[in-house]
């Protein structure tokens, strides 16, 4: 997997629906055990709530998906929260929507809308990012070529993570994994093979969506 979407940070959001309070708490989680631990903490924090409904999807291919209505009518709480996660294609994320009953029944349709809206508001609050796998390339060149190479990289929006000026000039450049071969070919042709191009370690970068 060369890229995937997840949340930028943990956080929470609140909506009011017919005097019922819906608090959406959103966490980034890497394992089912981590999600279970967060749910234990939330149940203690909101021990007096009417319901603590949740959903999560975890894994490279969303292998682990679970949702809970926590006493609400079947399919009215956990499922709409999970559908929000699926719709946004957000991985490794847990959303718990805590409800404090306000005295007015919402009906099944109203519950589905309220839990879904709370989950969406939670994602809006924490923000969504895309994680992209990149490879770091070390470019070594004489000073006479450094200006040209810097211009070429900037023209194609390649990020220079580090610049080192010693006897030669060295740029450490971020290249997305699916662009590696094309990057090498393009740079060799553009500089008449006048620089050394050394592939290095893999890493991840975060891009705000």
Predicted confidence at residue 169, as pLDDT, reads 98
Is 148 in contact with 191 (CB distance < 8 Å)? yes
Q: What is the mean pLDDT of residues 179-185?
A: 97
- pLDDT per residue as tens digits for the range 196-209: 999 999 999 999 88
Confidence of residue 147 (pLDDT cuts 50, 70, 90): very high
Q: How far apart are CA 68 and CA 19, in angstroms?
A: 23
- pLDDT per residue as tens digits for the range 116-128: 999 999 999 999 9
Among residues of the chain, what percentage have pLDDT more than 70? 100
Confidence of residue 1 (pLDDT cuts 50, 70, 90): confident
Q: How far apart are CA 35 and CA 74, in angstroms?
A: 21
DSSP string, the chain: --EEEEESS-EEEEEEETTEEEEEEEEE-SSHHHHHHHHHHHHHHTTTSSEEEEEEEESTT--EEEEE-TTSSTTSSHHHHHHHHHHHTB-SEEEEEEEE--SS--HHHHHHHHHHHHHHHHHHHH-EEEEEEEEEEEEEE-HHHHHHHHHHHHHTT-EEEEEEESSSEEEEEEEEGGGHHHHHHHHHHHTTT-SEEEEEEEEEEEEE-
- pLDDT per residue as tens digits for the range 40-69: 999 999 999 999 999 999 998 999 999 999
Predicted confidence at residue 150, as pLDDT, reads 97
Predicted confidence at residue 132, as pLDDT, reads 95
Confidence of residue 161 (pLDDT cuts 50, 70, 90): very high
Let me know how long the chain is.
Answer: 209
CB atoms within 10 A of CB 2: 11
Rounded to two decimals, the pTM is: 0.85
Q: What is the mean pLDDT of residues 5-31?
A: 97
Predicted confidence at residue 209, as pLDDT, reads 86
How far CA 86 is from CA of 37, 93, 139, in Å, comes to: 22, 11, 40
Confidence of residue 108 (pLDDT cuts 50, 70, 90): very high
Predicted confidence at residue 31, as pLDDT, reads 97
List of residues 6+ apart from 109 with CB closer than 8 A: none
- pLDDT per residue as tens digits for the range 65-86: 999 999 999 999 999 999 999 9
Q: Crossing angle of helices 143-155/180-190, nearest 10°?
A: 130
Which two three-digit tokens encode residue 128? 């969504």
List of residues 6+ apart from 43 with CB closer than 8 A: 52
């Amino acid at each position: 997997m060369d890229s995937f979407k997840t949340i930028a940070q943990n956080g929470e959001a609140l909506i009011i629906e017919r005097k019922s309070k819906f608090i959406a708490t959103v966490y980034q989680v890497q394992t089912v055990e981590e999600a279970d631990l967060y749910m234990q903490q939330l149940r203690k924090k909101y021990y007096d709530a009417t319901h603590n409904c949740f959903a999560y999807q975890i894994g490279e291919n969303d292998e682990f998906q679970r949702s809970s209505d926590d006493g609400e009518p079947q399919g009215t709480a956990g499922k709409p929260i999970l559908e929000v996660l699926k719709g946004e294609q957000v991985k490794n994320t847990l959303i718990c929507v805590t409800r404090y009953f306000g005295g007015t029944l919402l009906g099944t349709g109203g519950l589905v809308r309220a839990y879904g809206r709370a989950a969406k508001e939670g994602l809006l609050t924490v923000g969504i990012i895309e994680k992209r796998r990149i490879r770091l390339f070390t470019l070594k060149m004489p000073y006479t070529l450094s200006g040209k190479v810097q211009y070429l990289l900037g023209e194609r929006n390649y990020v220079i993570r580090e610049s080192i000026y010693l006897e030669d000039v060295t740029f450490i450049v971020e290249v997305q994994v699916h662009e590696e071969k094309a990057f090498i070919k393009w740079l060799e042709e553009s500089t008449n093979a006048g620089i050394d191009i050394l592939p290095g370690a893999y890493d991840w970068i975060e891009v705000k969506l």
